[in-house]
């Protein structure tokens, strides 16, 4: 084991209670259980938020512990709070409010998380940051970072997302591509999509499949209580284990099921759709009722593993009509359970299912209906697919191998430092926090860091001081300037690049200074941050290029 990997921070702040995160949560928590086993000398610190902190307590162990770093995530009031805060500040900070609010509303939750985080990772002695939910929220220059890429569905089906959500997902993806030392994709399809979308160097992203087909043991006899509770008969129902997101294509599935029923599907055959309850599920339940299928489409909600395993083990077959998948874990889980599968012929599903599943076009309900009939009536075909499916599932069953593949990627990230010019610590609206962290890539040319500050004349403090350090050593002389004035820091950089910190004091919190509800720690405003090379080249670090 590489001794440098003494402490790894894992960002679990996106984890929500229950099944709201879908298959990503299942994958991440299973991966962590195996990582702590194969690396017993490494300390894993799980960064959590209060909503799911207690639920994750079972992960605690000799080399894995939780640390709550953020309170309850706020959703409904985010945009309104942001508008109120910046509406009050806008006349003073000269921001074009309509354009910047659209962007900042997507970023506010990240801002709230980062407030007060300071040098969180360095304070904990972290050697590597792992972001299994993609977003490098706690990124600190100089600390290797690994992010997982699931899919780019928002690019293919932007209509399934709010406009702000599309923009936020794009920003998250690009930040991961820019800041991560290395990336992991859950399928070749997702890897190829990421490479083409972000013009990535293929060496920076690896495919690590979800090798979790055996996460639930199917070689035991399951209690059939769940069947009795739902009014189901063994081998007389189809199962669709998926959340009720739009890309899961439930509407087309219901249409196909209705067609199959009309064409003579026996009256005792039912369709079971698991998934977390919510508005979308309620809408689909009403749709099933309007189609006169309320007694044949069952919605059991989000199920514990034992109940889900029992439903899968005793079903006629798994039907999976999703329009878009980064991997498609339920398809492999069904094969491991010895259940025949019919699934879409799009995105990653042909890669995962190979020639084992019955494939159909998920936009043609007649094809879905025909697949259901084959699952029910063609015993010889299903027997052959079940046998092939068990063999296929074995290729995705070694979860320890998946953990070792991630471990190898962690070690690679330590020894293959990503050299790029980056700055963190400044917000998109132009405000700087107390510390700007700047990563400078090595260059054969002489480099100068140039930062222009602007102190509004209404700041709570009359004077500001700027210190620059590298590896704790102060560089140059402090820069002083008064409120109402601007100032330029010009610092010749040492050869070979490295990591610099620009500390600005004092700072203030607008909410504590009668300046709105903004809870961020702010110092002054930035007009620009550039790298100047002696060959005349200029690299702009701030403002960043925003698509707003």
- The pLDDT, as a whole number, for residue 429 is 87
Name the percent of the chain lying above pLDDT 70. 88
CATH architecture of the region 422-542: Sandwich (2.60)
pLDDT digits (tens, 9 = 90+) for 12-62: 999 988 877 878 899 999 999 999 999 999 999 999 999 999 999 999 999
Report the topology of domain 225-397: Rossmann fold (3.40.50)
Tell me the three-class secondary structure of 96-149, residue by residue.
CHHHHHHHHHHHHHHHHHHCCCCCHHHHCCCCEEEECCCCCCCCCCCCCEEEEE
pLDDT band at residue 90 under the 50/70/90 scheme = very low
What is the reported pTM?
0.79
Instruction: Tell me whether domains 7-211+401-415 and 422-542 share a fold.
Output: no
pLDDT band at residue 72 under the 50/70/90 scheme = low
pLDDT band at residue 173 under the 50/70/90 scheme = very high
The 10 Å CB-count burial string (b at 16+, else e) for 286-298 is ebbeeeebeebbb
| CATH 3.30.70.260 matches 7-211+401-415 | no
H-type alpha helices, 263-398: 279-290, 305-313, 329-336, 349-353, 365-377, 379-394
pLDDT band at residue 548 under the 50/70/90 scheme = very low
- The pLDDT, as a whole number, for residue 424 is 85
Domain regions of the chain by residue span: 7-211+401-415, 225-397, 422-542
- The pLDDT, as a whole number, for residue 483 is 94
Cα dihedral across residues 178, 149, 103, 424: positive or negative = negative
**To 5 degrees, how large is the angle CA 107–CA 52–CA 245?**
65
Mean pLDDT of 274-299: 95
Mean pLDDT of 285-309: 94
Q: Which residue has the tokens 């050869």?
A: 495
Of 418, 461, 408, the C-alpha closest to 441 is: 418
Lowest mean pLDDT, pick from 172-176, 219-223, 401-405: 219-223
Contact 319, 238 (CB under 8 A): yes
* Statement: residue 448 has pLDDT above 90: yes
Lowest mean pLDDT, pick from 70-84, 91-105, 346-360, 448-462: 91-105
DSSP code of residue 223: P
């Amino acid at each position: 084991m590489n001794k440098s990997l003494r402490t790894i921070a894992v960002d679990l702040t996106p984890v929500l209670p229950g099944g709201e995160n879908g298959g990503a949560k299942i994958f991440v928590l299973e991966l962590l259980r195996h990582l702590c086993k194969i690396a017993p000398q490494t300390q894993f610190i799980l960064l959590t938020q209060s909503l799911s902190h207690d639920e994750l307590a079972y992960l605690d162990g000799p080399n894995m512990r939780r640390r709550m770093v953020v309170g309850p995530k706020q959703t409904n009031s985010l945009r309104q709070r942001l508008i109120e805060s910046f509406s009050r500040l806008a006349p003073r900070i000269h921001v074009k409010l309509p354009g910047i609010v659209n962007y900042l509303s997507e970023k506010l939750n990240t801002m709230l998380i980062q407030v007060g985080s300071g040098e969180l990772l360095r304070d904990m002695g972290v050697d590597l940051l792992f972001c299994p939910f993609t977003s490098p929220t706690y990124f600190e220059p100089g600390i290797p970072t690994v992010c997982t890429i699931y899919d780019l569905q928002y690019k293919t089906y932007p209509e399934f997302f709010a406009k702000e959500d599309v923009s936020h997902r794009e920003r998250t993806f690009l930040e991961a591509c820019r800041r991560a030392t290395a990336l992991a994709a859950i399928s070749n399809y997702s890897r190829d999509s990421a490479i083409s979308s972000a013009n990535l160097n293929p060496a920076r992203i690896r495919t690590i499949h979800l090798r979790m087909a055996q996460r639930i043991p199917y070689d035991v006899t399951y209690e059939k209580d769940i069947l009795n509770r739902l009014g189901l008969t063994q081998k007389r129902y189809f199962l669709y284990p998926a959340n009720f997101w739009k890309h899961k294509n439930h509407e087309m599935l219901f249409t196909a099921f209705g067609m199959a029923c009309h064409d003579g599907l026996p009256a005792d055959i039912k369709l079971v759709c698991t998934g977390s309850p919510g508005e979308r599920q309620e809408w689909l339940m009403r749709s099933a009722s309007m189609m006169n299928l309320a007694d044949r489409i069952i919605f059991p909600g989000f199920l514990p593993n034992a109940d889900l395993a029992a439903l899968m083990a005793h079903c006629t077959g798994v039907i999976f009509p999703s329009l878009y998948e980064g991997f498609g874990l339920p398809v492999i889980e069904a094969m491991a359970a010895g259940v025949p599968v019919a699934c879409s012929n799009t995105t990653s599903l042909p890669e995962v299912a190979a020639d084992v599943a019955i494939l159909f076009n998920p936009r043609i309900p007649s094809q879905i209906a025909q697949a259901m009939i084959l699952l029910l009536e063609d015993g010889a075909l299903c027997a052959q697919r079940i046998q092939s499916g068990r063999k296929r599932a074995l290729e995705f069953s070694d979860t320890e191998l998946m953990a070792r593949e991630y471990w190898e990627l962690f070690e690679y990230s330590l020894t293959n430092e990503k050299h790029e010019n980056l700055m963190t610590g400044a917000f998109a609206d132009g405000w700087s926090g107390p510390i700007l962290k700047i990563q400078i890539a090595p260059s054969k040319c002489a480099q100068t860091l140039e930062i222009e500050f602007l102190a509004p004349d209404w700041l709570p403090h009359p004077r500001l001081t700027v210190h620059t350090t590298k590896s704790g050593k102060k560089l140059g002389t402090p820069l002083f300037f008064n409120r109402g004035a601007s100032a330029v820091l010009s610092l010749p950089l040492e050869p070979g690049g490295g990591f610099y910190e620009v500390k600005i004091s004092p700072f203030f919190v607008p909410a504590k200074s009668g300046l709105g509800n903004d809870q961020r720690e702010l110092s002054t405003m930035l007009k620009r941050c550039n790298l100047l090379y002696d060959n005349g080249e200029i690299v702009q670090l701030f403002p960043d290029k925003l698509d707003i």
